[in-house]
Amino acid sequence: MDYRYLLEKKSDDSILLLLLIRIMEALGNYGSAEYEEWNNHRRAWKLESVAIVEPPVNFIVPSNSKGKKRPRWAVIDKACMHNTWRTSQSSYNLYRTSKNASPSENLDILMNDLLNLCVHSYDTVRTLAVRSLVKLIKRWPCLIAKCVLTLTENLRSPSSPEYMVLGSCAILGTQTVLKHLTL
């Protein structure tokens, strides 16, 4: 993906760059959108589960019983969300079982593009790009070495602007990268 035109001509359009980052994440880390949907639904379910019970007088469950029956629609909703979770995990299971799985060249290019967006001058662009890159390197730990080389070069150079140093520190300070650096 060649986003250089956007950085040269539309570098002040952060909304466009945020959309680009979301597209890059969907391409490089497929299944993450489904997982986020499932995770958000799970959080909402925990908050609302207390209120989602049938009323005490429904002629099916006695009104003095301790456990109330969940409505049928709630059970169906839970099953649909479980299928969404399984869909999000299906692509990960392929790589978990195969020891020889390595990222494609296209994914390497995508990672480099995300890495460049991680050191962008806008904070919102940097934040979303860092989050997307961390998800990508969690899935493909072999990409961490390439990231670390580029990011430490940004830290070593005295002429690096502040936003490049901040973006580099944001990635190098994540638990995923630190865990692999200390092993």
pLDDT in tens, 100-159: 667 778 888 888 889 988 988 888 999 999 999 998 888 888 888 888 988 899 899 899
Exposed, middle or buried: residue 62 (CB in 10 Å: 0-12, 13-18, 19+)? exposed
Exposed, middle or buried: residue 104 (CB in 10 Å: 0-12, 13-18, 19+)? exposed
Answer yes or no: pTM beyond 0.75.
Answer: no
Give residue 65's pLDDT band: very low, low, confident or very high (50, 70, 90): low
Cβ pair 157, 144 in contact under 8 A: no
Sequential DSSP letters for 56-87:
S-SSSS-TT-SSPPPPHHHHHHHHHHHHHHHH
Distance of alpha carbon 100 from alpha carbon 63, whole angstroms: 59
Burial 112-122, CB ≥16 within 10 A → b, else e: ebbbebbbbeb
Record the tokens describing residue 17, joined without a space. Answer: 């760059």
